[in-house]
Amino acid sequence: MTGIRPLTAPERVRRPRAGFSGLPPWLFLVAALGALFILLPLAAVVVRVDWSRFPELVTSESSIAALKLSLTTSAAATALCIVAGTPMALVLARSAFPGQQVLRALVLLPLVLPPVVGGIALLYTFGRQGLLGGTLRALGVEIAFSTTAVVLAQTFVALPFLVLSLEGALRSAGGRYEAVAATLGASPTTVLRRVTIPLVLPGLLSGAVLSFARALGEFGATLTFAGSLQGVTRTLPLEIYLQRETDPDAAVALSLVLVAVAVLVVGLAHRSSPPAFR
């Protein structure tokens, strides 16, 4: 790839992106191995798909129900992430208070927590015997093992993605535009609505897309907190896991559907994050 004399080789000068990379050639080999490690299993799924039965497998009643449930709950979870995560990202990025670092670490905990543990935590918060169980029952609300539980489990694991990505966008945008807007007479709410949010909209969108993707793939917390009830809590990942026992071909076909959705989502996230405004 890059030669020893990348700057003097004339053919490199003509290519617009071919500056001096400074990377040793062997690094490209290791990087290629890493990429292969990710791409090969995806190719394995594609190879394993039984194409003659594919349409029939992905349109079965249980598959359609699972896909529908996955899409609606993930969309609801993404909306919740935006509503709850945007203020959190703003507070973390733009204010200073004692314990802020600790709070940030705790908010990001679901990123590293095993989802099963998250599910148990949610169960002991919103479940019948949970922390808020009595209060919720008094209000006539039953959350555990319902579609609401699916949405909560997905929100729990996906929220850090939105907070992280939006906080990054807020930090790189800086607070200078907001300062100018304030001296122009705009109240804090006006500044937020007319300056801050429009400026970080690309970051907000890519955070939302990532949250959606994470919610779509949620398995452990959902199973623990919401169970696996067809049409109610059995999302696509749960359906795949279940089918794997009885009909491996169906599991593979549905996996491909999720791979396709994931590729779409990653593509969208890349498109919606252009270079930051200067």
Partner 1 sequence: MGFALQAAVRARRFDVALSMGDGETLAVLGPNGAGKSTLLALAAGLLRADAGSAELDGRSLFGPRSFLPPHRRGVCLLPQEPLLFPHLSVLDNVAFAPRSAGESRAASRASARGWLAEVEASELADKRPGQLSGGQAQRVAVARALAARPSLLLLDEPLASIDAAAAPGLRRMLRRVLAGRNAVIVTHDLLDALILADTVTVLEEGKVAEAGSTQSVVERPRSSFAAGLAGLNFVPGTSVPSGLVDAAGRRLEAVSETPLPAGVPAAAVFSPRAVSVFPAAPAGSPRNVLRVSVTDLEPHGEFVTVRAGHLSAEISTSAAAELDLGPGSEVWFTVKATAVTLYPL
Nearest CB to partner 1, comparing residues 137 and 194: 194
152, with CB counted inside 10 A (0-12, 13-18, 19+), is buried
Considering CB under 8 A, how many residues would be counted as binding partner 1? 21
- Structure tokens that stand for 189 in this block: 């709410």
Residue of the chain from 76, 163, 199, 251 that contacts partner 1 (CB under 8 A): 199
Contacts of 221 by beta carbon, 8 Å cutoff, 6+ apart: 115, 116, 118, 119, 122, 153, 154, 156, 157
Nearest CB to partner 1, comparing residues 205 and 256: 205
**Whole-number minimum distance, CB 187 to partner 1, in Å?**
5
Question: What distance in Å separates the CA atoms of residue 202 and residue 32, rounded to the nearest whole number?
Answer: 30
Residue 17 sits in the site that holds partner 1 (CB under 8 A): no
Q: 3-class DSSP state for residue 113?
A: coil
Q: Which residues of 195-217 are buried (b: 16+ CB within 10 A; e: fewer)?
A: bbeebbebbbbbbbbbbbbbbbb
Residue 24 sits in the site that holds partner 1 (CB under 8 A): no
Question: What distance in Å separates the CA atoms of residue 86 and residue 92, rounded to the nearest whole number?
Answer: 10
Residue 194 sits in the site that holds partner 1 (CB under 8 A): yes
Nearest CB to partner 1, comparing residues 137 and 271: 271
Residue of the chain from 141, 179, 263, 264 that contacts partner 1 (CB under 8 A): 179
Nearest CB to partner 1, comparing residues 90 and 261: 90
Nearest CB to partner 1, comparing residues 170 and 265: 170
Residue type, 62: S
Residue 177 sits in the site that holds partner 1 (CB under 8 A): yes
Residue 188 sits in the site that holds partner 1 (CB under 8 A): yes
Enumerate binding residues for partner 1 (CB under 8 A).
176-177, 179-188, 190-191, 194-195, 198-199, 201, 277-278
